[in-house]
Amino acid sequence: MAYKDEQLSEEKVFKDPVHRYVHVRDRVIWDLIAAPEFQRLRRIKQLGTTNLTFHGAEHSRFNHSLGVYEIVRRIINNFQDRPHWNKDERLLCLCAALLHDLGHGPFSHSFEKVFKLDHEYFTQQIVLGDTKINEILERVDKGFAQKVADVIAKTYEDKLVVSLISSQIDADRMDYLQRDAYFTGVSYGHFDMERILRVMRPIEDQVVIKSTGMHAVEDYIMSRYQMYWQVYFHPVTRSAEVILTKILHRAKHLYETEDFTFKLQPTHFVSFFKGEVNLADYLKLDEMVVHYYFQLWQEEDDEILRDLCERFMNRRLFKYVEFNPNLQMNEWMELYKLFQEAEIDPEYYLVVDSSSDLPYDFYRPGEEEERLPIHLLMPDGSLKELSRHSDIVESISGKKRTDHKLYFPKDRLNELKDQALRARIMEILYGQGEKVDVE
Amino acid sequence: MLNNHAKLIRFFSEANGVTGRKKLQKMIYILQKCDIPFEEKYQFHFYGPYSEELTLRVEELCNLGFLQEEKEDKSNYYQYNYNITPAGTEFLNQFSMEMPDMATKVAMLKEKSSRFLELVSTMFYFDDLPLRENIEKIHMVKPKQKYSDEEIQEAIRFMEEMKQEGK
């Protein structure tokens, strides 16, 4: 029997708190899960620093990847005899679903920003490079790895296949919303996925939703909206991200400073600092390794690096106030100078963070074809964009969804000996009276 | 602080008005590919390269009052037009920022249709492929657009002009 058709002698299942069971019968999928590059995802948290806000959020990209695979497996089962569905694409869809996040690194978003990296590039490298994953995919068929890479990159010719893994209502989002809700413990993020799967219909180049299932999709859009504000954009998580980003900037700066020597040579970071990251280096750096360095950097001679690492490891985060760059530009410039006067380096300790700095998105109608929207399949066979038909979705789509926050170490300000200087900084940050900080 | 926002305001200041979100997406991507240091991250979507980061940043600029967004009802869809506001100009004046001159490039892009810019940006997206494979890929990922050979040749010429401009 050809490798691509090989089935395990009996079905294997992974117990899963979100989908109850993840079912595996294909030998190829079983082998991919066992590959070292996939096992590495166990050591990368799905939500990065969110566990410092919601302590349950310790789940990994491994959990999520299995979840996306399971959802796609169920969708394909539902599509079996529907028009437009090409049964030959089954294994391709399953592999792409399983491997779609393979290139994520530790604290992916911060690392990408600081070191100008792209996890999608590394996904391609792992799928197409000299790896166990590539070896397995090429055993399926010569050129199969390239097909999987194309589906993940969204450049595969069959758009229907792409839209299962990546669209505004795809398996990726359906898994992470439910999984993140479960592990953070919030009561948002729940929607009737079974119902959505039942009303999904394949058409020529996308998956659409039978119009009778609109309310289930409204629920999904609503939970997406609530999760963004309650979990993903949580200001405390953003504070941890700000500190993490500054640690990486500081460590890179010190590496480039001739007269500074790390007590422990930062071997795993060197290629990142130099901007010469190759696949082998990339795969070696997981969150366990990053935490190891942060632990040791608390004993480095550089005061800023030491302090930032101590803050990150012990959750001594920055406080924040709302910030409006339009109305407060002059105040910002004054604050910058006052921080310098107070010998608190504003490059590291006075940070504006914007909602666009985060890697999450809202539902967008995309009516000008900048982005494919969710389409409802009407009884007459026509397609209608969701927000044109749903008052709830239209209402959410029109909401103001951006904000800017100013982060700073309030504990350091409280320690300032120059009372006049302290008072002026506090006045700018908090107005006349100091407000209570939100935890 | 807000460096990437300032770069975008500079763009809107040079462009003196941009018509359509799709066109905006493609203009910034093509400028990126021509070494103008915009940092918005792009991915390939149904209609070519698309940046959610850019969409959100433009939304932020509108909410801050630095850009004005006008929604135009085109019967079967809405079109969004963008213009810099006096507050946006003032913000830009307060901001010290090194940015290469992009006025001519922006003017060249503004003259083109969003359909044409979709083709150009998609060809740029696959510019690591040899030209023949790049063209094959265009037909494969955009069969519905039915780009003609003339349009593809025009896109190749335009890409070269854009890259050479200012050198």
Ordered DSSP codes for B125-143 = HTTTS-HHHHHHHHHHH-G
Partners of B20 on chain A (C-beta within 8 Å) are 368
Distance CA B111, CA B103 (A): 13
Give the mean pLDDT of B27-39. 95
Which pLDDT score, from 0 to 100, does residue A398 have? 65
% of chain A surpassing 70 pLDDT? 96
Give the residue from A219, A234, A249 where a domain finishes. Answer: A234
**Contact of A38 with A99, CB cutoff 8 Å:** yes
A25 in a structural domain: yes
Contact assignment for A402 to B137 by CB distance below 8 Å: no
Q: Inform me whether the pLDDT recorded for A214 exceeds 50.
A: yes
Instruction: Read off the pLDDT of each residue in A115-136 and give the average, rounded to a whole number.
Output: 96
Examine residue A132 and state whether it is found in any structural domain, yes or no: yes
Residues sharing a CB contact under 8 Å with residue A158, sequence separation 6 or more, in sequence order:
A86, A89
A208 assigned to some structural domain: yes
Of A162-166, A329-333, B155-159, give the lowest mean pLDDT range.
A329-333
- Residues of chain B with C-beta less than 8 angstroms from the C-beta of A101: none
Identify any residues that bridge with A376 across adjacent strands, giving them in sequence order: A209, A384
Read off the DSSP letter of residue A437: P
pLDDT of residue A432: 60
> Based on the domain organization, do A7 and A69 belong to the same domain?
yes
- Which neighbouring-strand residues pair with A321? A406
Give the pLDDT of residue A289. Answer: 97
**Given a cut of 80, is residue A344 above it in pLDDT?**
yes
Of A40, A33, A31, nearest in space to A68 by CA? A33
Amino acid at A433: G
CA–CA separation, A30 and A24 (whole Å): 7
The ipTM estimated for the assembled molecules is 0.88
Q: How far is B155 from chain A (nearest CA, A)?
A: 20
pLDDT tops 60 at residue A439: no
Provide mean pLDDT across the span A120-145: 97
Q: Are residues A64 and A101 in the same domain?
A: yes
Query: What are the chain B neighbours of A325 within 8 Å (beta carbons)?
Result: 1-2, 5, 64, 91
Residue A438 has pLDDT above 50, yes or no: no
Q: How far apart are CA A217 and CA A200, in angstroms?
A: 10
- Is B5 in the A-facing interface, judged by CB distances under 8 Å? yes
Residues of chain B contacting A329 with CB distance shorter than 8 Å: 91, 94
Predicted TM-score (pTM) above 0.90: yes
**Statement: residue A247 has pLDDT above 50:** yes
Q: Euclidean distance between the first and final Cα of chain A, in Å? A: 59
- Is the same domain home to A255 and A154? no
Residue A374 lies in a domain: no
What's the pLDDT at A86?
93
Alpha-carbon distance A236 to nearest alpha carbon in chain B (angstroms): 20
Within this chain, do residues A274 and A134 fall inside the same structural domain, yes or no? no
Helix, coil or strand: residue A323: coil
On whether the CB atoms of residues A218 and A181 are closer than 8 A, the answer is: no
Number of separate domains in chain A: 2
Kindly state the average pLDDT of the residues A57-75.
98
Q: What is the mean pLDDT of chain B?
A: 91
* CA A318 – CA A60 distance, rounded (Å): 26
CA distance A19 to chain B (A): 28
Contact A346, B15 (CB under 8 A): no
Distance from CA of A265 to the nearest CA of B (A): 31
- Cα A243 to its chain centre, rounded Å, is 18
Domain boundary among A234, A267, A286: A234
Helix, strand, coil % (nearest 5) of chain B?
A: 60, 15, 30
Radius of gyration, alpha carbons of chain A: 24
Domain ranges of chain B: 3-164
In a domain, A102, yes or no: yes
CATH code of residue A303: 1.20.1250.30
Residue A119 domain flag: yes
Q: What is the pLDDT of residues A291-306, one digit of tens each?
A: 999 999 999 999 999 9
Clarify whether residues A162 and A217 are in a common domain: yes
Tokens of A54: 């919601």
SS3 A306: helix
- A387 in a domain, yes or no? no
The CATH number of whichever domain residue A23 belongs to comes to 1.10.3210.10
Mention every residue, 6+ apart, whose C-beta is less than 8 A from residue A18.
A67, A175, A178, A179, A182
CB burial string A407-433: b at 16+ within 10 A, e below: bbbbeebeebeeeeebebbbebbeeee
Are A226 and A78 in the same domain? yes
Residue A218 shares a structural domain with residue A246: no
Q: Cβ A371–B47 below 8 Å, yes or no?
A: yes
Does any domain span residue A437? Answer: no
Mean pLDDT of the A112-136 span? 96
Is B49 part of the contact surface with chain A (CB cutoff 8 Å)?
Answer: no
Helix (H/G/I), strand (E/B), else coil: A181: helix
Does residue A31 carry a pLDDT above 50?
A: yes
Which of A173, A200, A234 represents a domain boundary (last residue)? A234
What CA–CA distance (Å, rounded) separates B59 from A403?
10
> Which residue segment(s) compose the domain that A337 sits in?
236-357+402-430
State the Cα–Cα distance between residues A160 and A152, nearest whole angstrom. Answer: 13
